[in-house]
Amino acid sequence: MTIPVGTVGGVDPLAQFRLDGKVAVVTGASAGLGARFARVLDAAGARVVLVARRRARLEALAEQLSDPRVVACDLSRREELDRPVAEALSTYGRIDVLVNNAGLSDPGPALEEPPERFAEVLDVNLTAPFVLAQHAARDMLARGEGGSIVNVASMLGIVGLGRIPQAGYAASKGGLVNLTRELAAQWSRQGVRVNALAPGWFESEMTSDLFEGDAGRAFIRRGAPMGRPGQAHELDGALLFLAGEASSYVTGQVIAVDGGWTAV
């Protein structure tokens, strides 16, 4: 038997990061990391369903992709949570990858935070990913082909911060980390893998205030062992690893891409 050039034991290592023929749903795709994730998945061969509230931004992004679907909806409204997966199924007939990226933050002291705001943050950051994962897993399990769910948590779901107080955000991301483990424990035997990314400090709409001044950048340099914030492309590899066959024996895990912040 002749083993093709570029393979190891008959397996092409780089092909395991490809998503050709797959359908991926990305929430929070109108800006920042979500828009980047959508471009990366598209570049790897996936057909991408773009989900966010701001339709104009989604349509502008869709013009840069090969075969996208735009779904403008508000994930804080529970009656709209069935739409992303439903539209993926009606358009492409399947869903293979779900990236739960949409999120809210609630900067401010815990003593002053209204319970209503705390609950709103949990609705978007924790309840919505759970419901979307339910819908996606039902299709993945029914087809018997499995799939990958990638929850975008945060290093603040692993450690506390205090310096930039946001109790609802920290609670929601901590909940998302353990939700990831629980869903993996329930579904992985049937081929649905569930993992999480935990980014550190990356520049985005949510972190714009921190990056605007020298004090914020100095705070990041002091706290991260690598001495700098992350660059947008530094999440690409981890995303593709978790989304595709490269991580076929990985489930229930949290990958911190944080410059070492949670290591010290």
Q: Show which residues are catalytic.
A: 169
Per the CB < 8 A criterion, the answer to whether 169 and 123 are in contact is no
Structure tokens at 10: 């008959």
Query: Tokens 């104009």 identify what position?
Result: 56
Q: Please identify which residue in the block is written with the tokens 């901590």.
A: 174
**In a 10 Å sphere around its CB, with 0-12 CB exposed, 13-18 middle and 19+ buried, how is residue 218 labelled?**
exposed
Which two tokens mark 196?
A: 């999480």
Six-digit token pair at 126? 């924790």
Amino acid at residue number 139: D
Question: How far apart (Å, rounded) are the C-alpha atoms in residues 235 and 202?
Answer: 10
Q: Which of 33, 105, 45 is nearest to 244 (CA)?
A: 45
- 176 contacts 153 by C-beta, under 8 angstroms: yes
Q: Tokens for 134?
A: 């339910």
Q: How far is CA 90 from CA 31, 51, 84, 131, in A?
A: 25, 15, 10, 18
Per the CB < 8 A criterion, the answer to whether 104 and 129 are in contact is no
